Amino acid sequence: QVHLVESGGGSVQAGGSLRLACAASGFTYSSYCMGWFRQAPGKEREGVAGIDNYGSTTYADSVKGRFTISKDNAKNIVYLQMNSLAPEDTAMYYCARALYHTCGSLWSRPANFGDWGQGTQVTVSS
């Protein structure tokens, strides 16, 4: 059974940093595209970053240069390092496993991900 558990969320001031972690179990973790998504109240869920089975990464334009996705295959954990946080980054952040091994050009579409964690809240105050 696939299980994804996020951690590391919290409240920070603008300009601060947080590192999210997603612990994965129940599948061959390193063989899939893994993604981080976020959803703010009243808004659609959006892709933040993805990392594929080769370790190639991709980012939403809004977070490029500030966020870094990485993974530790030995520990089955995907990380999202978030720096220079801004109030508009406030959202519930979710980890997800894609239906595919590579992220591809459609990586940011939630429909391409079949398994989701419960989310971790990130709140950035100005």
Task: For the beta carbon of residue 17, count every other beta carbon within 10 angstroms.
Answer: 11
Task: For the beta carbon of residue 23, count every other beta carbon within 10 angstroms.
Answer: 16
Q: Kindly state the percentage of the chain with pLDDT values over 70.
A: 99
H or E segment to which residue 98 belongs: strand 91-98
Please work out, in degrees rounded to the nearest 5, the angle formed at the alpha carbon of residue 93 by the alpha carbons of 91 and 27: 170
Query: For the residues 4-31, what does the mean pLDDT come to?
Result: 93
Given pLDDT bands bounded at 50, 70 and 90, which one contains residue 97?
A: very high
- The DSSP 8-state label assigned to residue 83 in this structure reads -
Strand pairing partners for 63? none
Q: What is the pLDDT of residue 85?
A: 98
Given pLDDT bands bounded at 50, 70 and 90, which one contains residue 73?
A: confident
Query: For the residues 44-56, what does the mean pLDDT come to?
Result: 94
